[in-house]
Structures are given as C-alpha cells and as structure tokens.
Structure 1
Amino acid sequence: MTLPDPVRQHAETRPDAPALVTGAETWTWADLDTRVGRAAARLADGPGRVAVRAETSPDLVVLVLAALRAGRLLVPLSTRWTDTAVADALGRLGLDTVRADAKVAGVETRPLAEGRAGSQARAPGLPAIALDRWLTVVHTSGSTGTPKAIVHSVGNHVWSARGVIEALEVTDRSRWLLDLPLYHVGGLGVVMRCALAGATLAAPPRAMPLADRVATLRPTHASFVATQLRRLLDAGADLSSLQAVLLGGSAIPADLLDRATEAGVPVVTSYGMTEMTSTITATTPRTGRATLSTSGRVLPYRALRITDAGEIEVSGPTRFVGRLDPDAFRPAPEWHPTGDLGHLDAEGRLVVTGRRDLQFVSGGENVRPEAIEAALLALDAVAEAVVVPVPDAEFGARPAAFVRTTRGDAPDPAELAEALRQTLPGFMVPVAFHAWGGAEGMKPNRPALTRDAESRATE
C-alpha cells in the first residue's frame, strides 16, 4: 500500500491555503511543498539514516516531511540529552554524525525565490510513499531508564494520525499548535495530522511565551502536558479559540481537571505511548467531568485488551515495527505488553491504575508509588511528585518522595507527612521528601531519581 505525498497533494489542490504559520510569516502549501522538495532532494543524495538534534522549528518540520518524501529514516534525538548520551545513541544505531540546529537550517531554509513558489517545475503526478517503509526511530526510556530505539513505519504514523483526526474532527480549517518536541511521538503526531488533514500547523518561535502563542496564533487544537495547561490557567490566558486540548505525557491531577472544566477548556484526556505511535485512547471534547477521570475509549485503528493479570496490551496498525538493539532488530509482538495496569469501565473507557513494575514491598505490604503520588498531588502545596523506593534494613524498602512545590520553595517534610497521614496508612507515608525541579509534565526519570534517593539515604 502507498500514500500520495500529502504536502504535494495539498499544494496541487489548495496551493494558496495556509500550511504553516509562525506569527511573523505564513507559508502556503505551495511554499511548504517547495521547501520540502529542496530538502528531500538533498536528503536523497545522503545516507539512508539521518540523525537530528534540534529544537522544534519550521525548519525541523520541513526535515520531517522531507524524510517522508525522500525515503529516509529520521532519528530525532532529545535536546535534553548530554553529548555522551547522544554519542551512545549514535553508536548503537551505527551513525557517526548528527545534524544540529545550524545544519538543519542548511538543509533547506534559504529564502524562497521571489515570485510564486508553486510555479516551479515539478515532476508530473503525486509521489507515492510506501506505508510499510520505516520512517522514524524515536527513543524512549520508559520506566527502566534504558534508551529504547523504537522504529515506526510510515503506516504507523498515518493510521495514528487518522484515528486522532477522526476522533477530534480535525479538518482543513483546523489549526494545531505545535508545542511539543519533535523527538517525541506527540510532536511528530501533530505534524502528520496536519499534513494528512490539510490543517494549518502553528509553529511559533520558542522565545514567545506560551500564553502569547495561543493568543496570537488562535489554534483550534493543541497538545499540552499538564504543566503547560496549569501555567496557561494561572496566567489567565485566552483559550477561547481552542476546540480540543489533548492532554498527555503523565497522569493529570484531579484539581487541574476541575479548574479546566470550570474554565470551559475543552480538555481531552488520553492514554498513549511511543510504541503505539502516540495516542491510543481519548475522551471527546467538552465531555463530562466524570469521563475526564478516565482515559477515554480506544481510537480507530487501535486495539486494546486487559489480561487476566490486569495488564494493558495493545495492537493494531499503529503498533511499532520493532526495536533497534545494538546487536539485532527485534520485531514488535502482535500484542505489545505495556507494563501498565488498568481496566475498562462499564462504558468501555480505559482507567489506568498504575505500573506493574513500580510496585514494591515494604514490611510485607504492597506499595504502589502512584497512589502516594496521587495523594501528594491532591495537596495545594504540591505541583509535581514522584515516589521511589529506598532500601531499608527493617522493612526492606520504604517510599521516598521528590516534590516540586507550587510555591517553588523546598518542601516541608513534616507538613507533607502530616497531611498524607490523613489519607494514607503509615507504611505509605514517605520517609523523605526531596526538592525536585519537576519533569515538566513528561515522564520522570525514575531510575535516576531512585539512585539519587538511595545516595541521600546513605549520607
């Protein structure tokens, strides 16, 4: 099966419609097609795998779409990684160079020639793109901390995008704010959804405050993590243009959902992962508050089941192709075990209850860190929290908490412990509360925090 190149298709049928806006300039589909064509021609003369480590920008969007057209495997690497981590990832994939911001710009971003971009000669017909071709390698640490190189095909991205397009009613009149990094499947998903639906991609400069991005670009759709939405609500931002706000990245605190509902924000709670090319389940915009406490129903082109042990397993055409390990390629199983625990409620909505591999035993009692984290997040003083086990000679292990306070100061251990004792049994109250900078709504690095807590415990 093949896919007609979506950028070229819109350039042929809607050349003057807006494809990408930044707040300072607008690229039509004809403009974007010309830029993607230039970049694709350069990529076609280079290696089959292209590693890039750059901040989200219109240039990087062009590179993603150019890799789609040119048949290149794109390896976006986190800008938060150290140089050593980048070198390790390149070594595992057999690469020796990585494009950085300046080199990304060198691919294609010289200004378009004066005159109509779409008037330049093109080969007749639409480029056909094979759905089974590999398109991206996205790294995820999951809960283990070990980087996993997850391979996605063109088809994975296409079916993932189509399911969200159908569920959230994305059309060629929609405008989706690109505010997630393109080394995450969430950011890549925004680009693919807009390309397929013909929606406008809103790609503001990074220096622009988030509230100004929403107010200036007036998006109809946005993908936020909880921290971003909280900051927008705190700032009293104008969110009236939004028809759907897809929340993901981590568990959404109940108080944030309460505030968003009261403010009339069309929040969509969801469940997703890199291995399924982003979103798996989602609620619908402007649904009831009770529904937002779930992760919604399974989207089109996905499959989900709960095992007898309560683990969530997923499958379908959005399931990843496989994993690139240093010694071999490991194909994805037909049903991917997520490691998450949950159940479907009477309405068929997914309720995620925790991670199978995070539970630990303390003095003979099973401790789920997520339950302690939820109790912490229910406190007004806590903005973010992660709980990890630390060794204990008497109990085997005890919980320790890393906390980012709403005031930005150091957590008060006595105050937090006393508050938790009102709702939790004693064995679940952390023995230590450490100040933490937060994960900015994304998945926290639990292995690193565990090592930190263990080190502090021995001091």
Structure 2
Amino acid sequence: MAASPLLQNLTGTARTAYELGSGTARAAVALTRSGVVRPLGPARLYGMGRAFVRYGHSLAAAFSVGAARHPYRLAVVDDDSVLTYAELAERTDRLALALLDSGAGPGAPVGVLCRNHRAPVEVMVAAGKVGADVVLLNTGLSADQLAGVQSQQQLHTVVTDPDFLDVVPAGPRAVLTAGPDRPRPAGDRVLDELGAMIERGGPGELPFKPERSKLIVLTSGTTGTPKGAKRPHPSSLAPAASILSAIPLQAGEAVHIAAPLFHTWGNAALQLASLHGATIVLRRKFTPEGFLDAVQQRRCGTVFAVPVMLQRVLESGADGWGGPHEPRIVAVSGSALPADQATRFMDRFGECLYNLYGSTEVSWVSIADPADLRDAPGTAGRAPVGTTLLILGDDDEPVPAGTDGRVFVANGLPFEGYTGGQEGLEERYGLLGTGDVGHLDDQGRLFLTGRADDMIVSGGENVHPGPVEDLIAGLDGVREACVLGVEDDDYGQRLAAYVVTEPGATLTADGIRELVKRDLAKFTVPRDVHFLDELPRNQTGKVLRTELPGQE
C-alpha cells in the first residue's frame, strides 16, 4: 500500500509507528529465527512446494507441508486421541472427497459448530482442499441467532458436536462429530457422522488447484445476528512474520490452544501453530486444572488463551505451572487484559506473558511483550512489523503522543468486508477503524481508553468509562469490574459500576465512590455501584452487557 500524503508527512510518534510497518527484512528474520525457514532436502522441498502450489498460504497448505516435512510428528492431541501429520493428511483427503460427494464445495459454505478438538481442524483443512468456504460458528449462540446466521450465510452443511444439535437451524445438512456409524433420521433431516464420512471418502480425485476458499469469522455481537467477516487466505507469509516479530514462536514445539478455535484469536493460533509444524494440544472444555495439566503432559512451549482463563487460573490458587516444565510464551487476546491481572500472573508464572490487541475485522493492531507489561501495566503494546497504527482526532488528523483519539490500523492480512454489508466499517487513508479510543505514549505504546460508542455525556462532560473501570478493577479486594453508561433523567447519562469482590472483602458502594473521586474527576464517579457474584461473559471473556442489572 503506497503511503498517502498524510502518512508521508507524519512526524514524531506517529511517524515511528508507521516506519515499523516497512520492515520486509525484519519479516524474513522473524521467519528464519522461528525455524519456519531453514535448509531442507530436495524430496521434502518438492512436497512442500507442491502443497503451496495447490493450496496457497492456507491451513490446508500448512498441514500438507507438515505431512511432507515431518509426517510422523504428532499434529493434533485432544481428549480422545492423537494424530500425526501424515494421518491428518490422509483423513482430510478422504473427508474432502466426502464433502464433494455431498455437494459441499465452491459456493456451498460449511459451518463448524464445535468445541476445541480435532474435528474442527479436520473440517477446515478438508474444506480448503475442495474450495469450500468455512463459517466458524460461536458455540454460545442461541437457536434464533444461528437461524439468522443461516439466513445470511446460506450454509450447505453444519458440522456440529452432538450437544449443539438442538440449536442447528433447519436447512443445512447436519454432520455430527461423534455418533452413529451411519446416517439416522432426525425429524425432516438426515444426520451424518464425521467419522463415517472420513471412512467412506468419496468417488473421484481431489482437484489439484481448488478455488481459494475463504474463512468467515463471526463478530462477537451479543444480541441479534452476528456479522460474518470475510477473510481470504493471505498471499504471503508476511502476516505470520508480523506476529512472529513480536511473539517468538519456535518451530516444532508443542502448542496448547485454549482459546476457542471459532474465535479470531484461537483460529490465528491454529494457523501459526500449523505453520510451525507444532503439535497442537486441544481440550474440549477449559478448567484451570486441565489447562495446567495440558502444559505439563505435552511440555507445551506456547499457550494461546483469553484473559478470563488466566483470571480463573489465578483464582484456582495454583502457585505455578504444577511441574518442572514452564512455557516460554503465554499469549492472550480476545478481550481486555487488566493491568493488575497481567502483573499478578507474571509474578506467579514468570515473565512469559504477551498481550495482542485486535478485532475480528483488523486482526491485530499491537502486541505487548512481558517487558512492556512490566514497565507500562495496562498497555496494549506496540504496532509490530508490517503494521500501520494511527490515532486520529475528530478532524481525522493524527494527534500528538498522550492525546486520545480513534484507533486506525492497516496490516498484511486481507479483510474483504462483512457478508451482510459494510455498515459499521470506518476507513481513513486506507486504514480501518477499530471502534476504540486510545493514545500512544512517547515510546509508541498504545493505551486504550474505551470504545468510541461507550463514551457518554454526563451533565455536559464527555466521560469514558475505561479509566474508571481500570481504577476500580485495581482496588484491593476487587476481583473484576465493568463500568458503563446508563440513562439519567437529570444529567442525560451517568456511569454505573458492576463489581465482583474477593471473598471477605469489605468494600462498600460509598467507599468505591470516594476512591474514584479522590483519583479522578468528580463527574466520573459512578452513581450506581452494583455488587455481583460474577460478571456475565461470553466464551472469549467479553462482558455480556445486556445481561447486567438495569441493561436488559
């Protein structure tokens, strides 16, 4: 992307952030350092090259490269079994033929409604081998929301874990990830079983160069029908190199993906892990004990999680990893990482924590490494190689360091818009808006204030809930907190705080108000303080605000 006149004239922090995006040499170094690029023999190089020619830079290519490069290495370990790269390649070839035989190919999207185990991995790889688009379905969606997704996406097939069958909409062909050996009727639909499809395969041969499939990830809307964000596979390894420039993954080491595979972060973890020929360790359900056990059993060098999982591990009382092995990297994304939580986690589990800030639409924006999280708790990090990050004011001009504005970003991962139209997308100078407000410090580190649409006007004052929420969440005796705006007859709007305290804490509503008044402006003091047993959250840890008292 050529720099616009505005970008050519940037100075100071904004210029530094932009120059970070031009490091082609740094990208090559990152790929070599992680072991993705290294000398290999002719036979393996041929198999790897053939995979890239067939499938481009996709999940199907990554696992096919793995089968050529290290066929007997474990590819996936889940609650039930283990699969080598060679076994996964053979199974997904057969599944791809079965999908074609059933009519699922180019123009016939396949939905995946699964927890974390080998089935969603196999379906995504097989779909890529026949050019079928894949729609990742959030396991927390209601039947009505999934019906809306079906109307929008026109799914041909939904591959689902059996316990989600009741919410699968009528219309698409349903395939269970476990169940009977042969199809059985269920009302007016015929159910198939994934294992049976893999066993029988299908007639004919797979296309040598299928149409390039797209991955459609649903936005994390908590009401109504979530929108689908279309992502074609990248045309190069530059997006992966951008992440690797800040998070030092290593080829061949085991990776535990605790983050949901249906979410942008969990899926990005899968793509990065497969590119590195990792052994991918999956668990259907998260528990602190299972999380720690997975790390020890498989000696995982990297863990991908969401912040609420780390919170649960801290609350479990675990005083470390529970064994001799300690991962080098614990990378989190998907929701805000509270500053206090980051510090407490590293105090107990070591200097291994990385925080990636992004969204379904833009993927990544910035990455904070352990040093950033120690030196500047609460930071969202810096723009990595290949990423342009700007903070724009109301006049759409870059603002100085320390000044809040709207966050805009561009990187190497393509985004083709929403499947249901482009409403809600904001673009300036070829950069996409994240919908968040924040500022850069004089070292180029990003700090988020909150969502642009969360700002309220109370008695004529503009108020962002973010700083108030951070202050309350960091108080002694507070486990977690959420602050947002509510309607007010006198002031137009006011802040309300929802607080979960630690057992035995003696905090009161008046006490919290006094602490906020002491450290922040008077007009930021929440008039409503609600004490809850827990905050309602979705699978990635985002607070379900419509389920809070007074927000229905």
- Band the TM-score falls in, shorter-chain normalisation: 0.7 to 0.9
Q: Determine the C-alpha separation between the residues in 2 that align with 1:304 and 1:43.
A: 41
Q: Residue in 1 aligned with 2:48?
A: none
Note if contact 1:322-1:329 (Cα within 8 Å) is conserved in structure 2.
Answer: no
Structure ID, larger Rg? 2
Q: CA offset at residue 442 of structure 1?
A: 2.4
Give 1:22's aligned amino acid.
Answer: D
Q: Determine the C-alpha separation between the residues in 1 that align with 2:356 and 2:520.
A: 27
306 and 274 in structure 1: CA distance in 2 versus 1, 3 angstrom threshold: same
Q: 1:121-270 residue pairs with structure 2 within 5 A?
A: 133-141=212-220, 147-155=226-234, 159-206=238-285, 209-233=290-314, 234-238=317-321, 240-263=325-348, 264-270=350-356
Give 2:319's aligned amino acid.
Answer: G
192 and 420 in structure 1: CA distance in 2 versus 1, 3 angstrom threshold: same
Q: Determine the C-alpha separation between the residues in 2 that align with 1:111 and 1:383.
A: 47
Q: CA offset at residue 41 of structure 1?
A: 1.8
Per-residue CA shift, 1:146-203, capped at 9, x if unaligned? 6221111111896543432343232322222111112211111111111212111111
TM-score by length of 2: 0.71
Give 1:86's aligned amino acid.
Answer: L
Give 2:340's aligned amino acid.
Answer: D
Note if contact 1:362-1:397 (Cα within 8 Å) is conserved in structure 2.
Answer: yes
Give 1:442's aligned amino acid.
Answer: G
Structure 1 residues not aligned, in runs of 5+ = 114-121
Per-residue CA shift, 1:1-46, capped at 9, x if unaligned? 9338221221122111121223664321101111221222222332
288 and 95 in structure 1: CA distance in 2 versus 1, 3 angstrom threshold: closer
265 and 44 in structure 1: CA distance in 2 versus 1, 3 angstrom threshold: farther
SS at structure 2 position matched to 1:168: coil
Note if contact 1:305-1:314 (Cα within 8 Å) is conserved in structure 2.
Answer: yes
| 2:550 pairs with one of 449, 453, 459 | 453
Give 2:362's aligned amino acid.
Answer: M
Per-residue CA shift, 1:281-319, capped at 9, x if unaligned? 213355661155422222234322222342111123314
Q: Residue in 2 aligned with 1:118?
A: none
SS at structure 2 position matched to 1:69: helix
Q: Residue in 2 aligned with 1:58?
A: 118
Note if contact 2:229-2:361 (Cα within 8 Å) is conserved in structure 1.
Answer: yes
Q: Determine the C-alpha separation between the residues in 2 that align with 1:8 and 1:371.
A: 47
Deviant stretches of 4+, over 6 Å: 143-146, 327-332, 408-411
1:84 aligns with 2:144: yes
Q: Determine the C-alpha separation between the residues in 1 that align with 2:222 and 2:452.
A: 10
| 1:3 pairs with one of 57, 61, 67 | 57
Structure 2 residues not aligned, in runs of 5+ = 1-52, 163-174, 178-191, 395-404
Give 2:115's aligned amino acid.
Answer: E
Q: Determine the C-alpha separation between the residues in 2 that align with 1:123 and 1:87.
A: 34
- What fraction of aligned residue pairs are identical, expressed as a percent? 28
| 2:357 pairs with one of 268, 271, 276 | 271
| RCO higher in structure (CA 8 A, sep ≥6) | 2
69 and 292 in structure 1: CA distance in 2 versus 1, 3 angstrom threshold: farther
SS at structure 2 position matched to 1:385: strand
Q: Determine the C-alpha separation between the residues in 2 that align with 1:221 and 1:147.
A: 30
TM-score by length of 1: 0.85
Q: Determine the C-alpha separation between the residues in 1 that align with 2:409 and 2:479.
A: 31
Q: Residue in 1 aligned with 2:94?
A: 38
Note if contact 1:179-1:203 (Cα within 8 Å) is conserved in structure 2.
Answer: yes
Which stretch of the first structure deviates more once superposed, 148-157 or 29-38?
148-157
| 2:413 pairs with one of 314, 318, 323 | 318
Which stretch of the first structure deviates more once superposed, 356-365 or 258-267?
258-267
Per-residue CA shift, 1:89-119, capped at 9, x if unaligned? 1112234763321424256436999xxxxxx
1:444 aligns with 2:543: yes
Q: Determine the C-alpha separation between the residues in 1 that align with 2:283 and 2:122.
A: 15
Give 1:198's aligned amino acid.
Answer: G
Number of residue pairs matched by the alignment: 440
1:20 aligns with 2:76: yes
SS at structure 2 position matched to 1:20: strand
Q: CA offset at residue 127 of structure 1?
A: 5.5
1:304 aligns with 2:385: no
| 1:99 pairs with one of 133, 137, 159 | 159
Q: CA offset at residue 410 of structure 1?
A: 11
302 and 41 in structure 1: CA distance in 2 versus 1, 3 angstrom threshold: farther
68 and 21 in structure 1: CA distance in 2 versus 1, 3 angstrom threshold: same
444 and 3 in structure 1: CA distance in 2 versus 1, 3 angstrom threshold: same
Give the strand-richer structure, 1 or 2. Answer: 1
| 2:478 pairs with one of 363, 378, 382 | 382
176 and 157 in structure 1: CA distance in 2 versus 1, 3 angstrom threshold: farther
SS at structure 1 position matched to 2:518: coil
